[in-house]
A and B are shown apart, each in its own frame.
Chain A
């Protein structure tokens, strides 16, 4: 099973700041990595697929990069609605999710 590790566990930032979230895979997943946002009581929302492709309707402030085992989700300037938990997910070998990074308000 491919294990995904996300860091940091919690990221405390202010609106307008840049957020950089990391996801590391226990073995190469090529570019078969997605990022999701989840708010309390809601379903996850697909942000990025295949490492760097924004899903339909996702604002340009969200971007993804990486390949192999190291990936990054960047939110260029945090909006109030961006404070949430973010999960990475690989699909190279079945499907596994990372444990999540919580982005909260500083």
Chain B
């Protein structure tokens, strides 16, 4: 049972980046999934979530209108398309599984190791 993020890197302000999270060992389509980020030396910030079916999506105010979350249940992957990136988006981005398979619970019982996104010129 694991989550593995990829796609992080260095990007210029105003640029775009797409993160992916590969899930294995559980029935991916049964669980809502989230992205949570952590700026260097700082605390945790919830970014976005998507229901198990992909039919419902949710965003934090700081990324609304710039980020798009999606999932492919046939490939067991979760994506985060990040546009119009700013310096303050610099962080480690974690994908996280919802605790409850039956509904969107918003507690997270399985986390990936994270991928670092650096926004700098």
Contact = CB atoms under 8 A, between A and B. Distances in A.
A66 to B, nearest CB: 15
A95 B49 CA distance: 10
B108 A87 contact: no
Contact of A91 (B94, B106, B109): B106
Contacts of B105: 49, 91
A43 B43 contact: no
A69 B44 CA distance: 20
Given A43-B112, A91-B105, A49 B99 contact: yes
Interface of A: 1, 32, 34, 36, 38, 42-46, 49-50, 55-56, 87, 89, 91, 94-100
A89 B107 CA distance: 8
Nearest to B58: A94
A74 B111 CA distance: 23
Contact of B43 (A56, A94, A98): A98
A32 B108 CA distance: 12
A50 B46 contact: no
- In the complex, the 6 A-B pairs of residues with the closest C-beta atoms, listed nearest first: A91-B106, A43-B111, A95-B46, A97-B44, A49-B107, A34-B107
B114 interface: yes
Nearest to A100: B43
A16 B87 CA distance: 43
Nearest to B114: A43
A98 B60 CA distance: 16
Interface string B43-59: 11110010000000010
Given A34-B107, A56-B109, A94 B46 contact: yes
Interface in B71-121: 94, 99, 105-109, 111-114
A50 B94 CA distance: 22
Nearest to B61: A1
A4 B99 CA distance: 21
A94 B36 CA distance: 13
A84 B94 CA distance: 18
Most buried by A among B60, B108, B112: B108
